[in-house]
Amino acid sequence: MDWDNARVFLAIYRRGTLRGAAAELQIDQATAGRRLTALEEALDARLFLRTPKRYVPTPAGEMAFRAAEQMEAGADALQRRMQGLDERLEGTVSLACTDNVACVFLLPALGELRRRHPGITVRMVTSTRLSNLTRREADLAVRTVRPEAPDLIARHLGHRTLGLFASREYLDVRGLPDVGTGLAGQDVVVYDSSFGSASRDRLCGESFERAHVALETNTGLMLTQAVAAGLGIGEIPTHLARRFPALVRVWPERTERYDMWLVMHGDLHRTARVRAVADVVVEAFEREEP
């Protein structure tokens, strides 16, 4: 099985369309189609049923997927191990995080990295989705969940806290909410279902079942901007709220604590450029007040 063709096959399997696979691999759609056809001809098997909406794997496609995943794991492991021998303080390091972590912690850290090691380029991916480090979607990731995979190394960056906040203008008009009322008569700004939290029906332990949801969003920075603009009450990391003078803490006694982790693959932790980026990230979290 040709690895280049197998990579295209895996992308189509995971994305469900030629367009999605082409976008992931940064190739044109026609090339993705040709590579799939070449693979099917080489295997003498039809790997997908072409439906109007997506490509559906056939039984042969399911079998090929398992084999191609093993090829991918081997190729990724080889690349990680070769990178692990790299002692150069230059090259590209990919770093995954959320947008609010990037703004508060990582952009200042990368300024320091630039001064120390100007030959290193950071490719930052900001998303609430957990990047797969084993599949090399990122070299480093800042997460709120400690990974369980044995091939990943996690360093605890410390505890952070969440609080309830609203703008001064909002509270002047609507007043402070009463505890235990389900935020009755209030507007709230919350994360949408794509955020994936199990407690999306509560804000710092308080139900918002009687509130009006003014906005749903999938990023922390957008949620904070919306609360600062007066759209409603929201649950915001205190380290981020400090940067918005218009925000007022609602019920300061209510708080939620969570952990932050820096995660990397075990094969990469000795790579000089990855280690250099990890060092400035750790320093940035140590400087910032919880």
Mean pLDDT (10-residue bins), the chain, 290 residues: 85 91 90 91 91 90 89 73 68 92 92 94 83 73 88 91 96 94 95 65 92 94 96 96 95 94 83 92 87
Instruction: Give me the pLDDT at residue 249, please.
Output: 97
CATH number of 160-258: 3.40.190.10
Instruction: Give me the pLDDT at residue 198, please.
Output: 47
pTM for the whole structure = 0.67
Instruction: Give me the pLDDT at residue 152, please.
Output: 86
Taking the C-alpha atoms of residue 273 and residue 93, their distance in angstroms, rounded to an integer, is 7
Residue pair 203/63 in contact (Cβ under 8 Å)? The answer is no
Taking the C-alpha atoms of residue 167 and residue 244, their distance in angstroms, rounded to an integer, is 9
Beta bridge partners of 262: 142, 155
Domain ranges within the chain, ordered by starting residue: 3-84, 160-258
Taking the C-alpha atoms of residue 112 and residue 22, their distance in angstroms, rounded to an integer, is 36
Tokens representing 68 are 């191609």
Residues 202-233: b if buried by 16+ CB within 10 A, e if exposed: bbbebebeebeebbbbbbbbebbebbbebbbb
CA angle 221/115/91 to nearest 5° reads 85
Taking the C-alpha atoms of residue 276 and residue 272, their distance in angstroms, rounded to an integer, is 6
CATH architecture of the domain with range 3-84: Orthogonal Bundle (1.10)
